[in-house]
């Protein structure tokens, strides 16, 4: 998957699956150096894509909180570290 493919409608799950395959190949140690560099670059692009997709989803999440017997939509606020 090229950078162009990564930007053209690849789902989070597809990107994660491909990233896991790349990690497995790199961990095996049976990859020539040039191919390892290509895989590493592709993996970094996929990692960045997944991070962006998670940020987009996080912005869309709304939590329902009960206030005085009514449910109120409030923007998702992640726990601070």
Residues 39, 26 contacting (CB under 8 angstroms): yes
Does this model's pTM top 0.85? My answer is: no
What pLDDT does 77 receive? 73
Inter-axis angle of helices 33-60 and 12-28, nearest 10: 150
- Domains parsed from the chain with CATH numbers: 3-75 (1.10.287)
Local structure of 66: helix, strand or coil: strand
Which pLDDT does position 66 carry in this prediction?
61
If one compares 12 and 61, the residue with the highest pLDDT of the two is 12
- Look at residue 63 and give its three-state secondary structure: strand
Contact 47/20 with Cβ under 8 angstroms? Answer: no
Tens digit of pLDDT for each residue in 2-59? 554 545 689 999 999 999 999 999 999 999 999 999 999 999 999 999 999 998 887 7
């Amino acid at each position: 998957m090229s950078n162009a493919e990564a930007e053209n409608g690849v789902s989070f799950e597809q990107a994660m699956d491909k990233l896991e395959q790349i990690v497995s190949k790199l961990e095996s140690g049976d990859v020539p150096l040039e191919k390892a560099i290509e895989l590493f670059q592709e993996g970094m692009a996929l990692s960045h894509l997944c991070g962006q997709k998670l940020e987009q989803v996080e912005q869309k999440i709304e939590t329902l909180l009960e206030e005085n017997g009514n449910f109120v939509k409030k923007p998702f606020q992640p726990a601070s570290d």
